[in-house]
């Protein structure tokens, strides 16, 4: 029953003036709320959203639930070679017998081309209300429909004595124009949405008439009142593909890997839509180390990065979690295992400071070890930040023995002091290794 919608009016409201006068129309309603980004595949918006939050995409699915007009339906839709000159985001259509013939009604959000031919740059989207009524009677007709009430005075009866079309939003490339039309919120089937064989959701099967809901005026019907009386139908053929955010994949890479303690590691995440979806995801990426959040970064052109230098020595399971957005579903990257190695000690002969051990005492009764000393300044005229205390003597400029503990070096005078319990029963010699590379050892004074 679908009527081909060709013949776009070049006026905002086009009415066949022969023998008819439109005398009244209900006030416009805030019908549509937003338009989506332009799809680079065809130059049309990806979706329109009504005031209830429902989004309908450009209905181009070739599974029998979208009425499309590509030249060769046996081939996939592609722009511009196999792309129809008119398609739809939303369509509600009905007709009924009336005295004198047929009454027809259509409300739609339609895509087309300003000059008819499929040409890049000529893309338009408009909101249409169309009413066509045959009558053998002159007089006043009131037409009530889901998007308002219109009154017409017929002076010349006949086929399409009432022939009214209102197209709003016909400027090429200005896709917000349709938001100002009378169509919206989108009508929905009273029995709920349906899905095709692929699981894609639609408002309804467009070839099966349904009762509808969603009229902003509560008039979910098409009714004609005129000299011949009242005729009404509650059934509409309804078409619209419901928007579903596109799935995404998130990739994560780290550099360098492996790294050393204190070295900056860059985590770089890339979020991409899963084909055939297109576009550039927006939103945020959360970088996670195991269960610890390292940082949250906004996507820029589908990418986000974070630099950290606080990863401890060991292995780290790093992931990137994409938050999702209005157009794209969340996703999480596969874990990347980051290996952080301990910073190697300075090689022998490259020490930048000198360690002097002034005191080394070990008490066997409670294994208390006390070691004190000073460091000379390192390059840059400061002091190394810490020293390590090891059991045993220095060997080739290193302290290979068991690590007993560490002590902070005074920033003002280079002094340090260690007091702690040794993990071994006896310490007869200590080796002190400075973070500045200096190494010294000394025999302890052993007391009970």
How many distinct structural domains can be found in the chain? 3
pLDDT of 74 > 50? The answer is: yes
Whether 184 contacts 207, CB under 8 Å: no
Answer yes or no: is pLDDT of 24 > 60.
no
29 lies in the same domain as 55: yes
My answer on whether 106 and 199 are in the same domain is: yes
Point out the domain boundary residue: 318, 341, 364.
341
Query: Are 141 and 205 in the same domain?
Result: yes
Confirm whether 7 is domain-assigned. Answer: no
pLDDT of residue 21: 60
- Distance, in Å, from the CA atom of 80 to the CA atom of 210, rounded to the nearest integer, reads 34
Tokens (6 digits) for 32: 């549509």
**Same structural domain, 236 and 255:** no
Decide the pairing of beta strands 47-50 and 55-57. antiparallel
pLDDT of residue 19: 52
Is 233 in the same domain as 253? no
Q: Is residue 5 part of a domain?
A: no
Predicted pLDDT at 258: 94
Joined together, the tokens standing for residue 236 give 């509409």
Domain carrying residue 181: 13-242
Distance CA 419, CA 430 (A): 13
Domain limit, last residue, from 317, 341, 365: 341
Residues 64 and 143 in one domain: yes
348 within a domain of the structure (yes/no): no
Please check whether residues 232 and 257 belong to one and the same domain.
no
Residue 350 lies in a domain: no
**Is-contact 110 48, C-beta < 8 A?**
no
Half-sphere exposure (Cβ direction) of 301: Cα atoms closer than 13 Å: 1
> Residue 421 belongs to a domain with what CATH number?
2.60.40
- The answer as to whether 127 is a domain residue is yes
Which of 87-101, 165-179, 251-265, 373-387 bottoms out in mean pLDDT, i.e. has the lowest? 373-387
Do 377 and 414 fall within a single domain?
A: yes
DSSP string of 104-140, one letter each residue: EEEEEEEEEETTSS--TT-EEEEEEEEEEEEES--EE
The enclosing domain of 279 has a CATH number of: 2.60.40.10
In whole angstroms, give the CA distance from residue 105 to residue 144. Answer: 10
> With 0-12 CB in 10 A as exposed, 13-18 as middle and 19+ as buried, what is 97?
exposed
Instruction: Calculate the CA dihedral of residues 346, 351, 353, 357 and round it to 10 degrees.
Output: 80
At 15, is the pLDDT very low, low, confident or very high (cuts 50, 70, 90)? Answer: very low
- Binning pLDDT at 50, 70 and 90, where does residue 203 land? very high
Whether residues 107 and 206 fall in one domain: yes
Q: How many helices (H) and strands (E) does the chain have?
A: 0, 36
Task: Kindly state the tokens that stand for 175.
Answer: 């896709």
> Can you give the C-alpha Rg of the chain in angstroms?
39
Residue 22: is its pLDDT beyond 90?
no
């Amino acid at each position: 029953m679908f009527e081909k919608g060709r013949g776009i009016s070049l006026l905002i409201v086009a009415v066949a003036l022969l023998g008819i006068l439109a005398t009244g129309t209900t006030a416009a309603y805030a019908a549509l709320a937003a338009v989506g980004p332009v799809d680079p595949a065809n130059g049309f918006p990806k979706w329109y959203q009504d005031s209830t939050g429902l989004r309908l995409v450009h209905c181009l699915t070739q599974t029998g639930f979208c009425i499309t007009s590509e030249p060769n339906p046996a081939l996939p839709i592609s722009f511009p070679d196999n792309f129809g000159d008119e398609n739809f985001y939303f369509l509600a259509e009905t007709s009924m017998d009336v005295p004198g013939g047929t009454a027809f009604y259509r409300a739609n959000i339609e895509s087309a081309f300003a000059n008819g031919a499929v040409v890049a740059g000529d893309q338009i989207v408009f909101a249409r209300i169309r009413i066509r009524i045959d009558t053998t009677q002159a007089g006043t007709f009131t037409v009530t429909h889901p998007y308002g009430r219109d009154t017409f005075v017929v002076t010349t009866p006949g086929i399409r004595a009432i022939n009214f079309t209102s197209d709003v939003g016909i400027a090429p490339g200005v896709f917000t124009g349709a938001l100002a039309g009378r169509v919206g919120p989108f009508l929905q089937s009273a029995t709920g949405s349906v899905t095709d064989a692929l699981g894609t959701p639609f408002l309804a099967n467009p070839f099966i008439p349904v009762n509808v809901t969603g009229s902003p005026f509560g008039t979910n019907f098409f009714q004609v009142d005129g000299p011949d009386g009242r005729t009404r139908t509650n059934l509409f053929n309804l078409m619209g593909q419901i928007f579903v955010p596109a799935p995404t994949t998130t990739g994560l890479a780290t550099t360098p890997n492996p790294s050393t303690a204190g070295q900056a590691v860059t985590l770089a995440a890339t979020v991409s839509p899963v084909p055939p979806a297109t576009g550039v995801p927006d939103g945020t990426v959360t970088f996670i180390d195991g269960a610890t959040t390292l940082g949250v970064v906004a996507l820029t052109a589908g990418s986000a990065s974070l630099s950290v230098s606080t990863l401890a020595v060991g292995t780290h399971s790093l992931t990137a979690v994409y938050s999702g957005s209005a157009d794209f579903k969340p996703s999480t990257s596969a874990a990347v295992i980051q290996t952080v190695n301990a910073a190697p000690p300075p090689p022998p002969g490259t020490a930048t400071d000198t360690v002097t051990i002034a005191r080394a005492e070990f008490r066997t009764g409670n294994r208390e070890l006390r070691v004190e000393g000073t460091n000379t300044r390192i390059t840059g005229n400061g002091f190394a930040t810490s020293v390590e205390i090891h059991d045993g003597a220095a060997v080739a400029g290193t302290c290979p023995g068991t690590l007993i503990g560490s002590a902070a070096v005074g920033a003002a005078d280079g002094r340090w002091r260690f007091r702690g319990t040794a993990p071994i029963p006896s310490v007869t010699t200590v080796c002190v290794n400075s973070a500045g590379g200096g190494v010294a050892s000394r025999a302890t004074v052993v007391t009970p």
